[in-house]
Amino acid sequence: MRTKLTFAAALLAATVIGGTAQAKQLVYCSEASPAGFDPSPWSGGNDFDASSRTIYSRLVEFEHGKTSIMPGLAESWTVSADGLEYTFKLRPGVKFQTTDYFKPTRDLNADDVIFSFERQWKKDSPWYEYLPGTGWEYFTGMGFPELLKEIVKVDDLTVKFVLNKPEVAFLPDLGMDFSSIVSKEYADQLQKAGTLQQFTQKPVGTGPFQFVDYQVDAVIRYQAWDGYFGGRQKIDDLIFAITPDPAVRAQKLKAGECDIMSYPAPADIAGLQADQNLKVDEQEGLNIGYMAYNTTQPPFDKVEVRKALNMAVNKQAIIDAVYQGAGQVAVNPIPPTMWSYNKDIKDDPYDPDAAKKMLEEAGVKDLSMKIWAMPVSRPYNPNARRVAELIQADYAKVGVKAEIVSYEWTEYRERGKAKDRDGAFQLGWTGDNGDPDNFLFLLGCSAIGQSNYAIWCNKEFEDLLQKGKATTDVAERTKIYEEAQVVFKREAPWLTIAHSKVFMPMNKKVQGFVMDPLGIHRFDGVDVAE
């Protein structure tokens, strides 16, 4: 959706013409345009930053900077002894945002909660396929269609989720972005008008900021919403300046054109740290950068081929060249900061000679393949093109010819899901809820076509995954997930590349911003010093 506002105009819009007062604004240099403003169909961090964490709210929320759960739209909840029923008491008096395209006539109630999930679940809903070619990545990939039995409206302010089986991570799952609560009344209005796609173009939520306008690939503008149940924000105007190049983001921050930026390039961090006007927060990332083989396509359907390709890659050289001290070689699909990490697993050694021999023994000669390179930078992969070039050179040493391909970010992720996708696909993950299942589900059978880019369905691994989700004892879950990591490493659906530190540079006048272990950028509670 295009608007007439330029970035400069958006910046000026907060100024009170003819007076001395000026609204308080914060400019965030973000890394990519969102696919849309519906918080549920997509899985990109930039999509969440632009929608779920600004415009929307959830039944439960993660505490700032933590993985612990606190009340959100639900002020309280109870769980049945068998773990199959979760009953939520909704916060009374929660308002949906009033805009020039929607005037709510009622407060949030159970109907909104039920609609928010059933639109992702019920195939007979007119909303199930309202965005052609787009699925419900999280809802489907995390097994919610099989998990949910029914969602019951007890009364206007009470809603009950009934599960088919116990799910230990169900509550934190409801704090994730895809679980954002949307307005059924607004959806009904659009359905009546036959303009369903407006739902993701002109969003309405209950969150701290209200959508104002979006200029594609340039700027998103929000305003603090007076009716927010958590209290009005200190920032009047929140502006996302979309800036894909990390070097340009750094330049804008230094020049005062933005107040805070995402994902600096490792080479720029020292310069940002040295700037007297800036501060650079950092923390160990809850993340993994990887390259997924299409395990359904020959010769990648052979584990010995995948193992050989893994052994051909000098991962330490990638860490040294690309991450520049801000990363470590990844062994497992979950980071070492996550509980249940299996520290006893040994990585595939870098051994080009052995790799070449394994390929020959597998009957693979003159292999040509694609290496997919992300078009955006992320902490788990700050420069996918450079990583791809290094892997390409390593592959050449063992007789494998690799072509590097890339696409616009949203198109890249969609193309990567294709069943006949050629070659190995670079991507990564930052944890959403602090649970190991949130990483391992990426390799689950139900995530194929959604988040499982390896298109890998292994019964032994799947059984362990399901057992872990249904087990409440942490010690027992730890053993299960440690075993699952053994299966993963043996079968090698991914080349595990790196875990990284995360850096957040900002102007020193920014107050109250908290780095989030879940990788999201939240601006509720943030202030800018005068």
- CA 256, CA 509: separation in Å to the nearest integer? 11
What confidence score (pLDDT) does residue 295 get? 98
323-339 pLDDT, tens digit each = 998 899 999 999 998 99
Q: Where are the alpha helices (DSSP H) in 313-351?
A: 315-318
Which CA distances in Å does 495 have to 17, 273, 498, 499?
Answer: 56, 32, 10, 13
Higher pLDDT, 366 or 14: 366
Handedness of CA 200, 260, 243, 374 (dihedral sign): negative
Neighbours of 99 (CB within 10 A): 16
Task: Give the helix, strand, coil percentages of the chain, each rounded to 5.
Answer: 30, 20, 50
CB-based contact 239:11 (threshold 8 Å): yes
Provide the token pair at 430.
């930052």
Q: Let me know if 2 is exposed, middle or buried by CB neighbors in 10 A (0-12, 13-18, 19+).
A: exposed
CB-based contact 347:331 (threshold 8 Å): yes
Predicted confidence (pLDDT) at residue 18 exceeds the cutoff of 70: no
Residue 209, phi then psi, degrees to nearest 5: -125, 150
Provide the token pair at 45.
């961090």
202-245 pLDDT, tens digit each = 999 999 999 999 999 999 999 999 999 999 999 999 999 999 99
- CA 112, CA 423: separation in Å to the nearest integer? 42
CB-based contact 154:160 (threshold 8 Å): yes
The pLDDT confidence band at residue 518, using thresholds 50, 70 and 90, is: confident
CB-based contact 520:49 (threshold 8 Å): yes
310-321 pLDDT, tens digit each = 999 999 999 999
CB-based contact 211:50 (threshold 8 Å): no
Phi/psi zone of residue 325: left (φ > 0), alpha (ψ -120 to 50 degrees), beta? Answer: left
Average pLDDT, rounded, for the chain: 93
Neighbours of 349 (CB within 10 A): 9
Q: Which residues contact 298 (CB under 8 A, 6 or more apart)?
A: none
What confidence score (pLDDT) does residue 241 get? 98
Provide the token pair at 22.
């000026």
SS3 at position 60: strand
Q: Are strands 25-30 and 260-261 parallel, antiparallel or unpaired?
A: parallel
Q: What is the mean pLDDT of residues 177-182?
A: 98
392-412 pLDDT, tens digit each = 999 999 999 999 999 998 899
Higher pLDDT, 22 or 236: 236
In the chain, count H helices and then E strands.
18, 20
Q: Are strands 424-430 and 287-293 parallel, antiparallel or unpaired?
A: antiparallel
CATH class of 287-502: alpha beta
- Among 7-21, 73-87, 294-308, 465-479, where is mean pLDDT lowest? 7-21
Q: Which residues contact 41 (CB under 8 A, 6 or more apart)?
A: 35, 131, 134, 135, 136, 137, 200
Q: Comparing C-alpha atoms, which of 161, 182, 141 is closest to residue 52?
A: 182
Provide the token pair at 494.
């991914």
- CA 262, CA 521: separation in Å to the nearest integer? 8
What is the pTM (predicted TM-score) of this model? 0.85
Angle between helices 110-121 and 184-193 (to 10 degrees): 60
Provide the token pair at 345.
């697993």
- CA 85, CA 171: separation in Å to the nearest integer? 11
What confidence score (pLDDT) does residue 434 get? 82
Provide the token pair at 452.
């499982």
Q: Comparing C-alpha atoms, which of 313, 310, 287 is closest to residue 492?
A: 310
CB-based contact 521:49 (threshold 8 Å): yes
Domain ranges within the chain, ordered by starting residue: 7-255+509-528, 287-502
SS3 at position 250: helix
Return the C-alpha torsion angle 289, 295, 296, 302, nearest 10: 160
Return the C-alpha torsion angle 241, 242, 243, 244, nearest 10: 160
Residue 279, phi then psi, degrees to nearest 5: -130, 150
End-to-end CA distance of the chain: 34
Q: Give 7-255+509-528's CATH code, choosing from 3.90.76.10, 3.40.50.720, 3.40.190.10, 3.40.50.10680.
A: 3.90.76.10
- CA 267, CA 247: separation in Å to the nearest integer? 9
For residue 418, give the DSSP letter: -
